Every structure is written in C-alpha cells, then in structure tokens.
C-alpha cells in the first residue's frame, strides 16, 4: 500500500486526464494549522490512511507528508511577508488542504495496479466566522438533498462531493447558516427521517446530560473533531452514544451543535424542518456539554469559547 | 443558464482549485466520432444540457461546442499524420470526451452564482474490443459494489464516479468482461435485488419477444444508445418497457445485452451471481432483437454486427 516512490507532487495545475478530475477518484483532508501546529494531525492521518486503503491508493508515509506540508508553509510565509493585504492578519492560522488522487491512467473506470498517485498540498487563508454563530448559535435548515446510502464510501473524505454541493446551495448564509442532511430512503420507506450530519460538519445533540451523535456507517464523513469529542467525553466522564436517530429526536434536545476541523464546535440556535416546523435551543445554560467541549477544542483552534 | 462568455477553455492542465477536481462538480460525455460524424450528437447534447441544468452550470451553446470539437479533431489529425505508430490505424474513428466543470471558486461546497465554467475537450484513440465479445457474448458477473439511490444525480453523467471505479475493479477482463450493478438497499430491505445497469453501459433483456430495461430514476446513467434503442424499437414495432426489475428476472431471459456509446450493442453470454449461480444465454438465435438492433447501431459505429 505505502510506496514513497510512486507519487507525483502537483503544484498549481493538474493533468486533465487525472482520475481525480475525471472520476473523483481520490480523497482529501482540510487541516487547521494554528501557530505552526497541525491540529489533530494523527486523526487526519488516520482517516487519510483508511481512505487510501478503502480506495487501494498508494500513499507515501506520514513523515514525507509532514515535510511536504512544512515546505508549503514556508513558501507561503514568504508570500505573506511580501504582501501587506488585510487577508493576512491571521497569518499565524492557516488551512492546509491535502488532495490525493489515483493519478492518470486506467482503462475506463478500471484503474491500473501501478498507478502513480498525485498529491496536492495547498495552504489557504483561515476563514473567519461571525462571533454570533458561536455566541447566539446558528439558524439551520433541514436540506432537501439527502445523503445516499453507500457503505463502500461511508466515513471517508473522498472527492465525490456533489451531494454536499447541492445541499450547500440550499441556503445562502443569511436566512440559514448551515443545513442538516438526512439519509436518502429507498422506495420501501416513504419518508426521509434519519439524521446524519451537517453539510460539512458532524452533528451532536444532548438529552438528559447524555451526548448523542449519528453513526457514520452507511453515509456521512467520520470527522476528526467528532473523534476528538469521543476521546474528550471519555476523559470528562460524559456519556456518549452513536446510533441511528430520526430528525424528530432533535426536537426536545437541550443542546444541538456541529463539529468541524476548522470551525471547532458551533452551537445551533434553531432548526427549521422542511414543513417549516421550528425547534429552538437556548444558549443560556452555561453548564451545557457543548460549552465544556468548546473550552477545549475551540480554544486550541483559536475560535470563540462560548462560556 | 446559457452564457457563451463565461467559459474557460482548458487544454492539457487544469487549476488544482477547480471544483471539478475538488468536488467532482461537473459533467462529462464520451462521444463516438466515426468518419467525421459525431454519433448521436443530439442525444449527447440533450444529456449535457439536462446535466448542466440539474447542476445549475452555465454552458455555451451547441454551435460553440461543435466548433471546439472540430478544432480539436483538426489538431489531432495533424498529430496523427506526424506519427506512424500502429495505434493510429483507426484514425477515422475517435472518441471525443467533453468535461464541463463549475470552474474555480465558492465558499466551501457552496458555489458562486457567477462561476466561470471550465470546458475540456479531448480526442482519444478508438478502443478496440475483442470480436469474441460480439460473436460469443461477454461473461459478466454481478458486482458487490451497488449503486446508491440518489434521485438528484440519477440519469446524468456527472463526475462523481467512485462507485463505477470500485465496480470496474471487481473484474479483470479475463474471467469476466464486465459487471452488472444492483441498487443499494437501505436497512429496511435485507437484500440487494434490483438490477440497474453495467459498470459503463445500460442493460436490456428480452422475454417473449418484448424488450425490458431498468428505469433510471433513482440511480444509473441515461445512456444515449439506450435512448436510440427506444427510438428504434418504436420504428421497428418492438415492444419495450422500462421498470424496476429484480436480478432474478434475467434468469430466464432469451437475450441479455449491454449498450454503450462507444461499443454499441454487446451481447451477454453468461451472468455469474454473487452466490456463483450462473445463467447462460445462447448466441445462436439469428432472429433475436439484439441482432436486429446491432445491425443498425453497431454498423453506424463500425462495430461487429452479430448476424
């Protein structure tokens, strides 16, 4: 599986015959880099490896990756120091994106056993986010676009993201700040009811002091902050359970929040269902689990802690 | 929707931030070009337009496309006449591939309303295929990889093709020549039973002189030859029906065949199910519907007619 020779390090442009473009035949990661530290690198690396294994992609070892990332960061710092634009105020915080594709070749969909993996590492500006999202919570809607059940792809962060593109365009950031995605049902079940995640975050809810999060077994992405929350919950003796939950189970939750590797933990203020039913969540309770988690996770990411 | 200004014609390489690569945010077509004629251009164009509409992609009009294709063909002919390698024996037959992506930009999965569409047109060698596939029929297996039910993406030829990549790697071309894909079921139905298509072709079967083909409403690609077969069946007074069929309905079919824009109609000799049950189809009956269809479709594509 791991082969340091057979990779092709791509900079600004990629061959139009690369299977990453033609079939979405690859995986990616977006990693928060705060003060030179890659947040949760080991969890990103774990997911990258499991994605590569699932897709039978050859990838170089982690030291090679870390060196490539450091090199890109150094090059980027040089660029930053040359320019004075306001976007660079946050130059101590960056987003690192890794894309790994199968590279060129193959007979149609079939890929060659000795494909030369393409690796793209890019450094992006740290995206700002309104402090209101953290203090007051987000208004979110339930998306019309559902997540298709495909166990072969569930959990990994692959390049086939059209469902998220559709869902992400169902709200504009004014009326709603994000969207919740449900699992697609097949013909035998009439209604889409099972909640999975947000368009680019995992979803958690609290009931009677216990934390719940949808199981990522048939669709959805296994988030790194989601993993971190499992570890923290254990340390903090918070009960946590993953399972298949219907959307209606969120109606009487005391706390709903999303987790994302770049934004940390962001609370939900209200959910609007497709029939316009609305559920509201108070941000007043200082004792809630999301507050406790944000004081660890958001602090490390330089995001607001909602104490 | 249609805007001839806002396109970016891409040649050999594409920006690594293009959404075609990062999210598979685009569509494609592979078109047979035989003696300078684009086979079923109007059907490819129709599908391209409906894909663009579904994805809210701006695309230029068909005349612009036809001119771009002709230009590429002329450039390619110059290349061919400069080289003498054996691959160019079939220079009067080519495959034209069109890829259209959303281009760069957007905030995460959300795309900008004024995105600059990327258009890639490439000319490829005509793929040869063993005459035995046409004369004796293909040995095919039922793939383990299923097609997820996603009505939003069903029918169109989008760039999210990991399911086909997985399925295409379940056979090597020696034991089996192609694979049949079933619809994924959700938890409520225990078994995958509904047949959809082959890894890169549509599927047809014949029973009592009537033609049947799976409905492409929840997954699968609306093939151009599939469309042509509907038109031909009407002209030739062959009864044709589309619906949801279980795999077992193929067991006693008199004729099973695949249709593909480049390979035309290719008959199936045997199907091996996942429990190793095998069904065989005789290629001796000269009166069968696939023979009649191949005499029209395969002839136009310069593929063997199995009379």
Instruction: Give per-residue pLDDT as tens, A43-77.
Output: 999 999 999 999 999 999 999 999 999 999 999 88
Residues of chain B with pLDDT under 50: 1, 85-88
Q: How far apart are CA A77 and CA A92, in angstroms?
A: 9
How many Cβ pairs within 8 Å bridge chains A and B? Answer: 192
CB-CB neighbors (< 8 A) of A108 in chain B = 168, 199-200
Instruction: Give per-residue pLDDT as tens, B198-257.
Output: 999 999 999 999 999 999 999 999 999 999 999 999 999 999 999 999 999 999 999 999
Instruction: Give per-residue pLDDT as tens, A106-143.
Output: 779 999 888 899 999 999 999 999 999 999 999 999 99
Given a contact cutoff of 8 angstroms between Cβ atoms, the answer to whether A203 and A258 are in contact is yes
| pTM > 0.90: yes or no | yes
Q: How far apart are CA A134 and CA A283, in angstroms?
A: 9
Task: Scan residues 23-42 of B and list those with Cβ closer than 8 Å to A.
Answer: 23-25, 28
- pLDDT-derived band of residue A304, with 50, 70 and 90 as boundaries? very high
| Contact assignment for A165 to B111 by CB distance below 8 Å | yes
| Contact assignment for A13 to B15 by CB distance below 8 Å | yes
- pLDDT-derived band of residue A86, with 50, 70 and 90 as boundaries? very low
- pLDDT-derived band of residue A186, with 50, 70 and 90 as boundaries? low
Calculate how close chain B gets to A233, using CA atoms only, in Å.
29
**Which pLDDT score is estimated for B186?**
58
Residue B262: alpha-carbon gap to chain centroid: 8
**Which pLDDT score is estimated for A286?**
64
**CB contact A56 to B (< 8 Å):** yes
Instruction: Give per-residue pLDDT as tens, A254-291.
Output: 999 999 999 999 999 999 999 999 999 987 766 788 88
Q: How far apart are CA B278 and CA B175, in angstroms?
A: 13
Q: How far apart are CA A229 and CA A294, in angstroms?
A: 10
| Contact assignment for B110 to A168 by CB distance below 8 Å | yes
In angstroms, the Cα distances linking B12 to A14, A17, B189 are 8, 8, 46
Q: How far apart are CA A107 and CA A96, in angstroms?
A: 33
**Which pLDDT score is estimated for B193?**
86
**Which pLDDT score is estimated for B149?**
92
Domains, chain B, in order of start with CATH, read: 7-125 (3.30.470.10), 131-298 (3.20.10.10)
Instruction: Give per-residue pLDDT as tens, A200-232.
Output: 999 999 999 999 999 999 999 999 999 999 999
Nearest chain B alpha carbon to A173: B110
Task: Scan residues 64-83 of A and list those with Cβ closer than 8 Å to B.
Answer: none
- Average pLDDT, integer, range A15-22: 97
Which of B159, B189, B219, B261 to substitute to test the interface with A, most A CBs within 10 Å? B159
Q: How far apart are CA A159 and CA B160, in angstroms?
A: 8
**Which pLDDT score is estimated for B83?**
57
Which of A56, A106, A186, A200 to substitute to test the interface with B, most B CBs within 10 Å? A186
Q: Would you call B213 helix, strand, or coil by DSSP?
A: strand
**Which pLDDT score is estimated for A1?**
45
Q: How far apart are CA B36 and CA B127, in angstroms?
A: 17
Structure-derived torsion over alpha carbons of residues A91, A92, A94, A98, reported in degrees to the nearest 10: 120
């Amino acid at each position: 599986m791991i082969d340091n020779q057979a990779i092709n390090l791509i900079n600004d442009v990629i061959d139009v015959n690369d299977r990453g473009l033609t079939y979405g035949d690859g995986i990616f990661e977006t990693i928060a880099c705060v003060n030179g530290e890659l947040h949760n690198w080991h969890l990103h690396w774990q997911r990258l490896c499991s994605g590569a294994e699932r897709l039978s992609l050859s990838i170089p070892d982690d030291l090679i990756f870390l060196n490539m990332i450091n090199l890109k960061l150094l090059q980027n710092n040089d660029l930053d120091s040359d320019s004075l634009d306001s976007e660079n105020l946050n130059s101590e915080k960056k987003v690192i994106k890794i894309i790994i594709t199968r590279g060129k070749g193959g007979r149609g969909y079939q890929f060659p056993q000795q494909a030369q993996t393409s690796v793209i590492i890019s450094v992006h500006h740290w995206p700002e986010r309104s402090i209101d999202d953290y203090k007051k919570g987000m208004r979110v809607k339930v998306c019309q676009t559902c997540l298709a059940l495909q166990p072969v792809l569930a959990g990994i962060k692959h390049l086939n993201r059209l469902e998220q593109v559709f869902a992400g365009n169902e709200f504009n950031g004014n009326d709603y700040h994000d969207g919740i995605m449900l699992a697609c049902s097949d013909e035998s079940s009439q209604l889409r009811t099972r909640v999975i995640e947000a368009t680019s975050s995992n979803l958690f809810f609290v009931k009677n002091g216990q934390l719940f999060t949808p199981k990522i077994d048939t669709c959805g992405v296994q988030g790194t902050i989601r993993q971190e929350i499992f570890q923290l919950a254990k340390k903090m003796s918070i009960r946590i359970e993953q399972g298949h939950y219907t959307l209606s189970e969120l109606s009487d939750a005391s706390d709903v929040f999303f987790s994302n590797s770049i934004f940390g933990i962001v609370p939900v203020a209200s959910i609007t269902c497709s029939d316009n039913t609305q559920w509201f969540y108070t941000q007043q309770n200082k004792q809630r689990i999301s507050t406790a988690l944000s004081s660890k996770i958001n602090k490390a990411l330089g995001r607001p802690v909602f104490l």
